[in-house]
């Protein structure tokens, strides 16, 4: 069932978030299939793949806009739940780490966007090399940053850790609890 303008406010948004290579995409795909709902992929992957050069700070603003556009489009196909494989917190953290600052545009958009639950993926799974991944040696550092950022939002979050089935079970239970509250 597609969402109507009136029912959009009823769509709960769950954001799967965490450092690089912590199973966010795999978990997002699984949750979308489990709950029979759409999921919003990470816009940055496709953007960076097509970029053809190293990214710079202005690219992060473009990525933020693309991520939000995708989220805004997919919410119309959601019935009660939309799974988001990342959000602007990721871009903020990346920008601050690489450039020492974050664009006011990203911060403004971030403040306007609301989620109902965060699933914070732990670093307890093996690192897999990927040309778009930058910090295999700073996973604990970034995990703490993500946790602090999420805590500052005041939005409920659940830590996702363990083997694949444990992660899935924890995530499903957290979403079920949110939907039934």
Residue 41: count of CB within 10 angstroms of its CB = 18
- What's the predicted TM-score (pTM) here? 0.90
Q: Are 139 and 82 in contact (CB under 8 A)?
A: no
Tens-place pLDDT, residues 129-153:
555 545 567 788 989 999 999 999 9
Domain map (residue ranges) of the chain: 7-180
Mean pLDDT, rounded, of the chain? 90
Tens-place pLDDT, residues 49-71:
899 888 999 999 999 999 999 99
Tens-place pLDDT, residues 150-169:
999 999 999 999 999 999 99
pLDDT above 80 (res 106) = yes
Percentage of the residues of the chain whose pLDDT score is greater than 70: 89
More confident call, 134 vs 118: 118
More confident call, 138 vs 46: 46
Q: What CATH fold (topology level) applies to the domain 7-180?
A: Rossmann fold (3.40.50)
Distance CA 138, CA 146 (A): 12
């Amino acid at each position: 069932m597609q969402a109507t303008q009136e029912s959009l406010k009823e769509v709960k948004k769950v954001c799967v978030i965490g450092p690089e290579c912590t199973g966010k995409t795999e978990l997002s795909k699984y949750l979308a299939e489990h709950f029979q709902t759409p999921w919003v992929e990470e816009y940055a992957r496709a953007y960076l793949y097509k970029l053809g050069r190293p990214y710079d700070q202005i690219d992060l603003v473009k990525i933020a806009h693309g991520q939000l556009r995708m989220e805004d489009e997919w919410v119309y196909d959601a019935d009660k739940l939309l799974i988001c494989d990342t959000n602007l917190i990721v871009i903020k953290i990346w920008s601050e780490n690489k450039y020492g600052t974050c664009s006011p545009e990203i911060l403004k958009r971030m403040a306007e966007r609301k989620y109902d639950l965060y699933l914070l993926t732990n670093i307890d799974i093996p690192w897999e090399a990927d040309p778009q991944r930058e910090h295999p040696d700073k996973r604990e550092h970034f995990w703490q940053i993500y946790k602090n950022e999420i805590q500052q939002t005041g939005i409920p979050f659940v830590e996702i850790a363990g083997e694949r089935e444990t992660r899935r079970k924890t995530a499903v239970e957290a979403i079920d609890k949110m939907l039934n509250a």
